[in-house]
Amino acid sequence: MAFTAGLLAVCLVLLVAYSALLRRKKPPKGLRLVPGPKGLPILGNLHQLQPYPQRSLQRWAREYGEMFQIRMGWENWIFLNDPAVVKELLDKQSAVTSGRAPSPVASDIISGGKRFLFMSYTPEWRKLRTIVHKLLTPKASALFKPSQELEAKQLVYDIHEDQLRNDQESFYMHCRRYSTSVIMTSTYGRRVPQWDCEDVREIYTLMNEFSEHAAPGAYLAEMIPPLAKIPVPLQWWRGRALKCYHRQLNIWWKYWTTLKRQIADKTAPECFVRQYVATEYEKEGIDEEQSAFLAGSMIEAGSETTSSALNSAIKYLAAFPEAQARAHEEITRVVGDSRSPGFDDEDGLPFLRATVKEVLRIRPVTNIGTPHYTTADIVYKDFFIPKHTVLSINQYAIHFDDGRYDEPEKFKPERYLGHPLKAGAYIAHPDPYQRDHFSFGAGRRGCPGLHLAENSLFITLAKILWAFEIKPGLGPDGKEEVIDVSDAAYEDGANTVPRKYKVRFVMRNEKREKVLKEEWDSASKSLKTSNSVPT
């Protein structure tokens, strides 16, 4: 009987949902809806996005101009293809374009409504955002430069040791270890000295599980949010989702309570959470579980994205040796053989800084942008954008616009030599066409950890290119393999993650090899005699 009632309820909701999809809000007189390609019932345009969503989005941008609209399941999405549109809608009108689309399973149940990146535009989210931005300013982020440099020293040492064993693939995991250790150190003051350790297993198990549960099609209620309105006893998916939530909470809660005990014992390392606790967050009405999920969200957002960008950088530098040679020449001229580069050298390495920007342009961290959600009707020019519409930056369309970039398909860091400042300066620039790239998003949903990310990419690439020449890997026949930089060389999904590949890291000279070993030996000894990572 209960099953029959549940089935009837589901059928009713599906009928209502389908009717709603057919009923598009009509624009006021004199205005028009944003154009776009026709889709199918229920699916919308999802079937047209495979296998590489970014290329379909680029094609539609060329066809429709500054904006186009598609439907992905329940939601209408509008992609913004021009910097001026991004500035107007996501920056100037951010008060009504900073929401998140309904996510009754991935956000409301599996995340308990507490995952920072998935939270709606509520007073609580705004309080959290204010705290996070204060703790991740350029000045605050600079406090973590010593630990980033230490991790970079281990990275080049680990790569060197692998090369002695003719290992052409483990660098990929070393880059992942680096980024995970940096974000764990920054957040909780906990290093990740090797990839095979409990912290890494827990965090990546958690992230992989969440990705599986949040994947399109994992839950029907996620694709058709009105299903979440049926009576709780009839929500057949709820038990499975709640189990996932409790597993995730237990992991983040363990890290949170451990750090809280260290604070009470006055043994806590300098880190984001220690600073966060000092803000007296409880007076703002923020509870402990929310705080644990906030710190966890920082780890989730900062680990895989940075390692993916770094592995993309290595791939492109191997594929474009002329760019690599120019960066190496600059580093050698400024630094020499007697030491490896540090953050104090950054101002003297404009081509390397341009290389960081070019990596983020040619392979932005997501394929479909970071979605925002309108919380009110909007008028832009003669377009009417209804409330409850997803807005997303079409990063590939902007980054590969041949009207702005010469030969956009090529890896050419020199295009950014006229952009000497960090990304944050161009995000704040009043002229939207001065933006260097859009990998860090825009508006109130922009990436708060951009300064940490830029610092990581700079210091790792500086030390890698100082120490090694990156060459294509060798195949079974002993010949160099072609470095694949096509879309096929990247994992399927919304995030830009390179598939594993092979390269060789050839030591520049014996002097640098000696310095590399001495620097890591000194750094590792300092870790053994210190109670915390350097800050």
Q: Does the annotation place 447 within a ligand binding site? A: yes
DSSP secondary structure letter of residue 23:
-
Distance CA 522, CA 518 (A): 6
Phi, psi of 99, rounded to the nearest 5 degrees:
-80, 180
Q: Which two tokens stand for residue 298?
A: 């920082």
The answer to whether the beta carbons of residues 379 and 320 sit under 8 Å apart is: no
Distance CA 272, CA 141 (A): 9
The answer to whether the beta carbons of residues 211 and 173 sit under 8 Å apart is: no
Rg (CA), the chain: 24
Distance CA 3, CA 231 (A): 13
DSSP string, 104-152: TTTTTTTTTT--GGG--S-HHHHHHHHHHHHHTSHHHHHTTHHHHHHHH
Which residues 6+ apart lie within 8 Å of 36 measured at CB?
45, 60, 64, 68, 69, 70
The answer to whether the beta carbons of residues 327 and 350 sit under 8 Å apart is: no
Distance CA 51, CA 70 (A): 17
The answer to whether the beta carbons of residues 292 and 256 sit under 8 Å apart is: yes
For 438-506, give the secondary structure using H, E and C: CCCCCHHHCCCCHHHHHHHHHHHHHHHHHHEEEEECECCCCCECCCCCCHHHECCCCECCECCCCEEEE
> Pick from 196, 191, 198: which is nearest to 173 by CA?
196
DSSP secondary structure letter of residue 347:
G
In this structure, the number of other CB atoms found within 10 A of the CB of residue 384 comes to: 17
DSSP string, 238-265: HHHHHHHHHHHHHHHHHHHHHHHHHHHT
> Pick from 399, 468, 459, 475: which is nearest to 435 by CA?
399
The answer to whether the beta carbons of residues 468 and 505 sit under 8 Å apart is: yes
Q: Cite the annotated binding site for heme by residue number.
A: 447
Q: Cite the annotated binding site by residue number.
A: 447
